[in-house]
Structure 1
């Protein structure tokens, strides 16, 4: 595979066989509630609970920019909470997205996805409330996942850009 597959549909419920990882970007302050995560929580409450515990216990774990926490939600399905944004507000320091943290998180995710033999499914992660540009995130996904032979599908909900 040498490219990302783009489909219209719900990234919270990829309809493919085999092991799959649903990946998305989280902030570094423990907030959960905007962008992709409300839909994810409606379908699968475990990732939110795990993220909040991971953040709460951050003094004794790896929580921070670029970290990834995989949460098993079904026998063959996982959710990857990837810390790739600083805070939640756009302001004097720009948008919350941190491309370097997303790149690091994708590198970690690639190793785990390869171990699991999993495909990766995501929205245009980092491009909602985080304020990122897909033109900057797509090359990171290609370089860290696709070039390692990991199948990646980006799910555009509704009439999103192609």
Structure 2
């Protein structure tokens, strides 16, 4: 079984050949604007537009914790919006990360990666503003993606 590759760099511009999927965690309230998603939206506005439309029409679709949507932004580049956090961090209500939702969304990501024969690229999802810990997320990534033979690169931003 392969391992997760860790690199310093920018996950919004994955350095690999072939089809690539950039994965990141979104909240379940339709809000975007802080953390990794800011950098992603500056480079690729399509995933944010798709996320907002998905949320707006949530009464008629699968939007919610554990869901995933995939947006093609170039012929060999896709972005995966993974719904893995409940709300946003405010006050003392605890962290918004939901590990079980990330796990379900990673399962959907794995299916799409296999279907596309794609590698997966991500920051340490769920560990920034969502308040999660990589020691809890990494085993989910390993179990859902690496165990299926999917090449995964995790980017630690230099900034």
Per the normalisation by structure 2, the TM-score is: 0.97
Q: Which runs of 4+ in 1 moved over 2 A?
A: 90-93
Give SS of 1:102's match: helix
Match of 2:17 in 1: 17
Match of 2:78 in 1: 78
Give SS of 1:81's match: strand
Gaps of 5+ in 1: none
Give SS of 2:18's match: coil
Is residue 2:145 matched to residue 1:145?
Answer: yes
Is residue 2:45 matched to residue 1:52?
Answer: no
Q: Distance in 1 between matches of 2:53 and 2:123?
A: 24
Match of 2:156 in 1: 156
* 1:92 positional shift: 4.4
Gaps of 5+ in 2: none
Q: Distance in 2 between matches of 1:157 and 1:89?
A: 22
Match of 1:38 in 2: 38
Deviations 1:32-66 (A, max 9, x none): 00110000011000000000000000001110000
Is residue 2:102 matched to residue 1:102?
Answer: yes
* 1:93 positional shift: 3.9
* 1:16 positional shift: 1.1
